[in-house]
Amino acid sequence: MAKLMNAKEYEESLRKLKLNVYMFGRKVENVVDDPIIRPSMNAVAATYEFAHKPEYEDIMTAKSHLTGNRINRFTHIHQNTGDLVKKSKMGRLLGSLTACCFQRCVGMDALNALSITTHAIDAKYGTGYNKRFLEYLAYVQENDLVCDGAMTDPKGDRSASPKKQFDPDLFMRVVEETRDGIVVSGAKAHQTGAVNSHEIIVMPTITMREEDRDYAISFALPSDAQGITYIMGRQSCDTRKLEGMTFDRGNMHYGGHEALVVFDRVFVPWERVFMYREYDFTTQLVENFAAYHRQSYACKVGVGDVLIGAAQTIAEYNGAEKASHVKDKIIEMNQLNETLFCGCIACAAEGHKEPSGTYQNDLLLANVHKQNITRLPYEIARLAQDIAGGLVVTCPSEADLTSPEVGKWVDKYFKTKADVPTEHRMRILRLIENITMGTAAVGYLTESMHGAGSPQAQRIMIARLVNMKQKQKVAKFLCGIDKER
């Protein structure tokens, strides 16, 4: 019987890992308690915490199609469009409760994409990938693990294919085959939640040709497997977390992180290999994963909920909440945010069943949704900054507010209403700063732009998936160019 981990059990499970992590040029000996990394761990822990709350159980958990056991939805394979809709609702819920990236969507999306592709490869070639995958999936579900989906290679020279790179390791590749498995080298970049994960699932990043078959690989490994090194990425205002529990951090509870993950001749046993040189299936795996992950940006709707709440709060603190232009901006923020929610719900509701039994969301609508995500959060953030005023970037520190020498002046001159403490005004401003410019901006704005592929990648998919001939056919019939539909 599977046991859903709680937040404390999740934290303790991370302490057992022997991760090789570097940040600021130094090895991180205690990843769990590091003040810069810790808020991101808290965000993942929240996905365990809320799974135990009765009011969220229907959204946060599901019944395994393998065992019938109750599992965390992040390890679930979608069995119907209802599952896909709940996935979107879960993303918004968690975004609205953490105001950051909670890091588990990419692993969930990798599992679902592989459930489809391994079945398809087996159907064509008679391989045993799907059986391997399902055994791995059962292990993940029964142990309630966090999986980090790793798709993005560094790519090197974008004009050159993997095989033609000046450095062959710029795409993940097989460097040796043994009786027991394969040896791989390369790296995966921008890996969200990498050091908060128990497992890392590697997938190809682009469509491969026959000459690139050594790069057409997918596999899973424990995150602390020998030969894997994590190099933490920097975020704006990240060292504020080293200053202690000051409200200058903005978000006092949660955060996110990304890392460069290096594989230096890492051994992968055959039972953990889900694709090996089947280059003709890389397109399906990449496109299915991308569609799932573009749907996952429902999380940005949740973060938008928090930002809208912060904008309304600072307007009230400033005494500007009744101004017609402020009310109109708040309405617009809500309209834009709900428009984003429409997209992720639509691509879920229009999902379909694949031969594997897994439900895939609608690829066209998923790409349209993500294209909107590259734009509308920036406008929501602009409106929030507009309402907040210039103090969002010129506010003194908490240390100045509490200073025996100048604290009285900060308190006096940044007070607005008699019943609103200056500290409260400064706190909400710091949260707005955090979401629109600070560490959370990585998970709200920059990730909105580049996460799950660049904006151009979505436009290419939209052009490919739209039935333009049918649109033209109807137009020509209605105006009399063609006599038949």
Average pLDDT of every residue of the chain: 96
The answer to whether 395 is a known catalytic residue is no
Residue-level pLDDT at 110:
98
The answer to whether 76 is a known catalytic residue is no
Q: Percentage of the chain with pLDDT > 70?
A: 100
pLDDT digits (tens, 9 = 90+) for 322-352: 999 999 999 999 999 999 999 999 999 999 9
For residue 102, tell me if it sits in a domain: no
Residue-level pLDDT at 272:
98
Residue 32 phi, psi (nearest 5): -65, -40
The alpha carbons of the chain give a radius of gyration, in whole angstroms, of 24
What is the arithmetic mean of pLDDT over 241-266?
94
Q: Could you give the 3-state DSSP secondary structure of residue 165?
A: coil
pLDDT digits (tens, 9 = 90+) for 286-322: 999 999 999 999 999 999 999 999 999 999 999 999 9
Tell the residue number behind the tokens 């001939």, with chain if given: 469
User: In terms of C-beta distances under 8 Å and separation of at least 24 residues, what long-range contacts does 154-159 make, across chains too?
Assistant: 154/187, 154/189, 154/260, 155/205
Domain total of the chain = 1
Domain range holding 327? 294-475
For residue 21, tell me if it sits in a domain: no
Question: Cα torsion at 326, 331, 333, 338 (round to 10°)?
Answer: 170
The answer to whether 100 is a known catalytic residue is no
- For the cut 80, the answer to whether the pLDDT of residue 202 exceeds it is yes
d(CA 381, CA 311): 10
d(CA 152, CA 398): 39
For residue 399, tell me if it sits in a domain: yes
Looking at the chain, the number of H-run helices and the number of E-run strands are: 19, 14
The answer to whether 447 is a known catalytic residue is yes
Find the catalytic residue in 299, 344, 347, 395: 299
Find the catalytic residue in 11, 49, 258, 398: 258
Sign of CA dihedral 238, 244, 250, 251: positive
For residue 257, tell me if it sits in a domain: no
The answer to whether 297 is a known catalytic residue is yes
Find the catalytic residue in 118, 192, 205, 358: 192
Residue 229 has a CB neighbour count (10 Å cut-off) of 17
For residue 329, tell me if it sits in a domain: yes
**Residue 470 vs residues 362, 364, 473, 478, 481: alpha-carbon distances, Å:** 18, 15, 5, 12, 14
pTM (2 d.p.): 0.96
DSSP letters for 46-103: HHHHGGG-GGGHHHHEEE-TTT--EEEGGGPPP-SHHHHHHHHHHHHHHHHHHSS--S
Find the catalytic residue in 10, 254, 297, 359: 297
Sheet holding 273-276, edge to edge: 147-150, 199-202, 217-222, 273-276
Residue-level pLDDT at 1:
54
For residue 304, tell me if it sits in a domain: yes
| Residues near 270 by beta carbon (within 8 Å), at least 6 away in sequence | 132, 180, 181, 182
Q: Which CATH number is 418's domain given?
A: 1.20.140.10
For residue 393, tell me if it sits in a domain: yes
Residue-level pLDDT at 21:
98
- For the cut 90, the answer to whether the pLDDT of residue 485 exceeds it is no
Residue-level pLDDT at 362:
98
Find the catalytic residue in 105, 147, 344, 395: 105
d(CA 321, CA 182): 62
DSSP letters for 240-286: GGGG-S-GGGSSSS----EEEEEEEEEEEEGGGEEEES-GGGHHHHH
Find the catalytic residue in 49, 287, 398, 447: 447
d(CA 237, CA 308): 22
- For the cut 70, the answer to whether the pLDDT of residue 46 exceeds it is yes
For residue 163, tell me if it sits in a domain: no
pLDDT digits (tens, 9 = 90+) for 380-400: 999 999 999 999 999 999 999
The answer to whether 347 is a known catalytic residue is no
Residue-level pLDDT at 148:
98
Find the catalytic residue in 101, 147, 344, 395: 101
